[in-house]
Amino acid sequence: MDTILVTGGCGFIGSNFIRYVLKNTNNYRIVNVDKLTYAGNLKNLAGLKGDPRYCFYKGDICNYELLSFIIEKENVTSIINFAAESHVDRSILSPQEFIRTNVIGTDVLLEITRRFGLKKFIQISTDEVYGSLEQTGKFIESTPLSPNSPYSASKASADLLVRAYNHTYNLPTIITRCSNNYGPYQFPEKLIPLMIINAINEKPLPVYGDGMNIRDWIYVEDHCAAILAIYEEGKIGEVYNIGAENEMPNIEIVKLILKELGKNESLITFVKDRPGHDRRYAIDATKIKTELGWKPRYEFKEALKKTINWYIENQTWWQEIISGEYKKYYKKWYEER
């Protein structure tokens, strides 16, 4: 049985991925290393308690000694790196932690992969490394990197390190670049969960700028299936885009959420735009579809409903977060006076 070290497994996508792998296969043990930042939550994986195929270590991916200890103790054979500071707005207000975790942390994991001769290193990157598109065209894997925010610059830096370790040391690496995810357990600072929760609570829904920025949305389970396919069948040294061909302006999503919850559009509040706000993302996922036979299973409107229902049915999960301390540490630019 392969033992995969999953980093950042207590976050949104990492926790969905661990659940997906353990539910759909019996081929892997998962060792989850997570620092439990404001975005990491042990409750995201509470259902796995007692599963012998899963174990958890609280730890920082920048800690080389701790990771070396875990690799040896748990006989780890490969790494999938989800751990990151992931929120663009926070990176604009305070970039340092993004550089530390996303760049230095990735470098530590690459060094670990090299030292222990691991079988595979998968870097979970993002479509944001490509920058912003005009009204037409899509990102392909060879689109030049052109990151615009401190977050995307830190992710692009990590991608370049992964590429360099593959080229220089022949390290068995693969990079994945996915579009915007939505689904259960997403931290309520990101567009979809924030808007659902504010709508439920009848609070203003803060839409940046004119609301016409376009993102390309994928249900998190489709992303998880793609990562597993890449882990199992992907070609070493390659980059794979992941997306579900679902471009949508932010304002349309916000209106769909209000409609589904039976709330009034008067809750929509246009606020000062995000500095450097990328206008449009769109992913061309032809490569993973043709080479690995992956395709998305979920249709956007149905999966958005499923997501809204999850937030309705799991209010304790998000109530604990929004009534907690996390907001104290940052104040958005549009709230500044």
| In contact, 4 and 80? CB cutoff 8 Å | yes
Which residue stretch of 58-66, 244-252, 267-275, 278-286 sits at the interface with ligand NAD (rule: CB under 6 A)? 58-66
Nearest residue to ligand NAD, scored by beta-carbon proximity: 11
- Pick 77 or 176: Cβ nearer ligand DAU: 176
- Pick 30 or 254: Cβ nearer ligand DAU: 254
Interaction between residue 308 and ligand NAD (CB under 6 A) = no
Using CB under 6 A as the criterion, what x/- string covers residues 72-91 for binding ligand NAD? Answer: ----------xxxxx-----
| In contact, 68 and 115? CB cutoff 8 Å | yes
Q: Say which entry of ligand DAU, ligand NAD, none residue 8 contacts (CB below 5 to 8 A, set by partner kind).
A: ligand NAD
For residue 127, which amino acid is it? D
Q: Say which entry of ligand NAD, ligand DAU, none residue 159 contacts (CB below 5 to 8 A, set by partner kind).
A: none
Which residue stretch of 69-77, 125-133, 157-165, 297-305 sits at the interface with ligand DAU (rule: CB under 6 A)? 125-133
> What is residue 39's DSSP assignment?
T
- Pick 11 or 131: Cβ nearer ligand NAD: 11
Q: Which of 77, 91, 113, 126 binds ligand NAD (CB under 6 A)?
A: 126
Non-local (6+) Cβ contacts of 218 within 8 A are 178, 179, 180, 181, 182, 242, 243, 244, 246, 296
Interaction between residue 243 and ligand NAD (CB under 6 A) = no
Cα distance between the two ends of the chain: 56
Interaction between residue 246 and ligand DAU (CB under 6 A) = no
The edge-to-edge listing of strands for the beta sheet with 247-249 is: 180-182, 214-219, 247-249
| In contact, 179 and 216? CB cutoff 8 Å | yes
- Pick 149 or 166: Cβ nearer ligand NAD: 149
Interaction between residue 130 and ligand DAU (CB under 6 A) = no
| In contact, 123 and 83? CB cutoff 8 Å | no
SS3 12: helix
Q: Which residue is associated with the tokens 């939505």? A: 182
Segment 77 to 116, residues that bind ligand DAU, using CB under 6 A: 86-88
Interaction between residue 213 and ligand NAD (CB under 6 A) = no
Distance (Å) of CA 271 to CA 263, 264, 310, 322:
20, 18, 27, 21
| In contact, 121 and 78? CB cutoff 8 Å | yes
Residue 250 CA to residue 232 CA, distance in Å, equals: 34
Best CA proximity match to 238, nearest among 183, 287, 196: 287
Residue 124 CA to residue 134 CA, distance in Å, equals: 25
Interaction between residue 12 and ligand NAD (CB under 6 A) = yes
- Tokens at residue 227, please? 């990562």
Q: Which of 78, 181, 241, 250 binds ligand NAD (CB under 6 A)?
A: 181
Using CB under 6 A as the criterion, what x/- string covers residues 169-198 for binding ligand DAU? Answer: ----------xx---------xx--x----
Interaction between residue 207 and ligand DAU (CB under 6 A) = yes
Segment 289 to 328, residues that bind ligand DAU, using CB under 6 A: none
Interaction between residue 223 and ligand DAU (CB under 6 A) = no
- Pick 171 or 192: Cβ nearer ligand DAU: 192
For residue 325, which amino acid is it? E
Interaction between residue 195 and ligand NAD (CB under 6 A) = no
Best CA proximity match to 57, nearest among 36, 33, 40: 33
> Which residues are near ligand NAD by CB under 6 A?
7-8, 10-14, 34-37, 39-40, 60-62, 82-86, 101, 105, 124, 126, 155, 178, 180-181, 187
